[in-house]
Chain A
Amino acid sequence: MLFTIMEIIRIFNYVVFIYFITLNLWYFILNILALRGLKRYLLHLEVTGPYDKLLMRSAPPVTLLTPAFNESENCIKSVESQLKIQYPNMRILFINDGSTDDTLEKMLNYFDMQPAFLPQIAFLETKAVKKIYRSSKHPDLWLIDKENGKKADALNAGINYCQTPLFCAIDNDSMLEQDSISRVVLPFIEDTRTIVNGGIIRIANGCTFKNGHITKVGLPKNIIAAFQVMEYLRAFYSGRLAWDMLNASLIVSGAFGVFRHSTVVAAGGYRHQTIGEDMELIVRLHKYCSDKKIPYRIRYIPDPVAWTEAPETLKTLAKQRDRWQRGLIDSIRLHIKMLFHPRYKTVGLLAMPFYFIYEMLGPIIEISGYLLFFFLILIGFASTTYIIAFLLVAVILGMALSVFSLILEELSFHRYPRFRHLLKLIGLALIENIGYRQLNSWWRIKGTWSYLRRNQNWY
Chain B
Amino acid sequence: MINKISTLLQNFVKGGEDPFILWVLLGLLVFFTFSTVILFFIAFYIRSHNLLIEKRREKQHKSWDPYILGVMDGSLTPEKAFQDIRANCSIPYLMYLEKYISVLRGKEKERLQTLGTLSMRRIKKLLNSPFRNMRLFGIHLLALFNQEEAYKSIRIARRDKDLILLAIIEMRMARDPAIKKRLLQYLFGLPFVSPIYISNIAADMGTGITPYLREMILKEDQKPFILIVAAETLKHMHDASCLDLTAYVLGKGGQMPVVLAAWLRYMEMFADETYLPFIKPFTAHAELMVRIAAIRAYIEATPRLSVFFIEHCFNDPSVQIAVNAAEKLHLRTELPYIEIDRIAAFRWGEIYREMVY
Q: Name the interface residues of A249-296: CB closer than 8 Å to any CB of B.
A: 295
Is residue A407 within 8 Å, beta carbon to beta carbon, of the partner chain?
yes
- B50 part of interface (Cβ distance < 8 Å): yes
Query: From residue A130, how far is it (CB to closest CB) to chain B in Å?
Result: 16
The listed residue (A190, A384, A389, A414) touching B194 by CB distance below 8 A is A190
User: What separation, in Å, do the CA atoms of A392 and B136 have in the docked complex?
Assistant: 44
Chain B residue at smallest Cβ distance from A423: B44
CA separation between A407 and B348, bound complex, in Å? 57
Q: Which residues of B contact A14 (CB under 8 A)?
A: 6, 9
**B72 interface residue per 8 A CB criterion:** no
- Of A149-157, A325-333, A393-401, the stretch lying at the interface with chain B is A393-401
CB of A4 closer than 8 Å to a CB of B:
no
The answer to whether A393 and B29 have CB atoms under 8 Å apart is: yes
Binds B, one of A44-52, A71-79, A139-147: A44-52
- For A392, give its contact among B29, B39, B326 (CB under 8 Å): B29
Fill in one digit per residue for B324-357: 1 if any A CB lies within 8 Å of its CB, else 0: 0010000000000000000000001011001100
For A419, the chain B residues whose CB sits under 8 A away are: 47
Are A422 and B136 interface neighbours, CB within 8 A? no
Q: How far is the CA of A299 from the CA of B204 in the complex (A)?
A: 28
Q: Is the CB of B196 within 8 A of A410?
A: no
Q: Which of A60, A188, A386, A403 contacts B21 (CB 8 A)?
A: A386
A223 at the interface (CB under 8 A from B): no
User: Interface with B: A102-110, A117-125, A335-343, which one?
Assistant: A117-125
Stretch at the interface among A84-92, A196-204, A353-361, A375-383: A375-383
Size category of the A interface is 35 or more
Q: B193 contacts which chain A residues (CB < 8 A)?
A: 190-192
* B15: chain A residues within 8 A (beta carbon): 382-386
CA distance A48 to B348 in the complex (A): 45
Asked whether, in the complex, the Cβ of A382 is within 8 Å of the Cβ of B13, the reply is yes
A382 and chain B: residue at smallest CB distance: B13
Q: Which of B12, B33, B39 contacts A404 (CB 8 A)?
A: B39
- B136 contacts which of A47, A60, A381 (Cβ < 8 Å)? A47
Name A's interface SS. helix
Judge whether A396 and B13 touch: CB under 8 Å: no
B133 interface residue (CB < 8 Å to A): yes
Q: Which single member of A47, A54, A414, A426 contacts B50 (CB below 8 Å)?
A: A414
- The one of A44, A188, A295 in contact with B162, judged by C-beta atoms closer than 8 angstroms, is A44
Interface size class, chain B: 35 or more
> Does the CB pair A47–B9 fall under 8 Å?
no
A171-207 contact mask (Cβ, 8 Å, vs B): 1 or 0: 0000000000000000011111100000000000000
- Is A452 among interface residues, defined by CB-CB distance under 8 A? no
A17 close to chain B: CB less than 8 A: yes
B197: chain A residues within 8 A (beta carbon): 55, 189-190
Shortest Cβ gap from A342 to chain B (Å):
23
**Contact A120/B319 with A57-B200, A58-B200, A407-B43 known, Cβ cut-off 8 Å:** yes
The secondary structure that dominates the B interface is helix
B32 at interface by CB-CB < 8 Å: yes
Across-interface contacts of A389 in B (CB, < 8 A): 22, 25-26, 29
Q: Pick the residue among B28, B43, B165, B319 that contacts A121 (CB under 8 A).
A: B319
For the complex, give the distance between the alpha carbons of A293 and B270 in Å: 37
Q: Does B123 sit within 8 A of A, measured CB to CB?
A: no
A48-B169 contact given A119-B326, A191-B193, A400-B35, CB 8 Å threshold: yes
> Is B188 part of the binding interface, using a Cβ–Cβ cutoff of 8 Å?
no
Check A453 for interface membership: any CB of B closer than 8 A.
Answer: no
Chain B residues with CB below 8 A from A47, complex form: 136-137, 140, 166
Contact with A along B147-183 (1 / 0, CB 8 A): 0000000000000001001100100000000000000
Which residues of the partner chain A approach B200 to less than 8 Å between Cβ atoms? 54-55, 57-58
Contact status B12-A386, CB under 8 Å: yes
CB distance from A168 to the nearest CB of B (A): 18
For residue B236, CB closer than 8 A to chain A, the reply is yes
Judge whether B323 and A119 touch: CB under 8 Å: yes
Residues of A within 8 A of B3 (CB): none
- Which chain A positions have C-beta within 8 A of B47? 410, 414, 419, 422
CA of A60 to CA of B169 in the docked complex: distance in angstroms? 21
Query: Does A163 belong to the interface (CB within 8 Å)?
Result: yes
Closest to A416 in B: B47
Contacts of B326 in A (CB 8 A): 119
User: Within 8 Å CB of A208, what residues of B?
Assistant: none
Give the shortest distance, in Å, between A370 (CB) and chain B (any CB).
14
Task: Give the distance in Å from the alpha carbon of A192 to the alpha carbon of B190 in the complex.
Answer: 12
A33 within 8 A of B: no
Known A43-B133, A192-B194; judge A396-B43 contact (CB<8 A).
no
Interface centre among B12, B326, B351, B354 (most CB of A within 10 A): B12
Bound form: Cα–Cα A58–B200 in Å: 8
Residue from the list A54, A383, A392 in contact with B14, Cβ < 8 A: A383
Q: With A47-B136, A381-B13 given, is the CB distance from A403 to B39 under 8 Å?
A: yes
6 closest cross-chain pairs (CB), A and B: A383-B15, A117-B354, A389-B25, A403-B39, A192-B194, A410-B46
A-B contact pairs, 23 of them (CB 8 A): A10-B9, A39-B133, A43-B133, A47-B137, A55-B200, A57-B200, A58-B196, A58-B236, A117-B355, A119-B319, A119-B322, A119-B355, A120-B319, A192-B193, A193-B192, A383-B16, A386-B21, A386-B22, A393-B25, A396-B29, A400-B36, A410-B47, A426-B40
16 extra A-B contacts, CB within 8 A, seeds A44-B162, A189-B197 = A14-B9, A39-B133, A48-B166, A120-B319, A121-B320, A121-B323, A192-B194, A389-B26, A390-B25, A393-B29, A400-B39, A403-B40, A407-B42, A410-B46, A410-B47, A422-B47
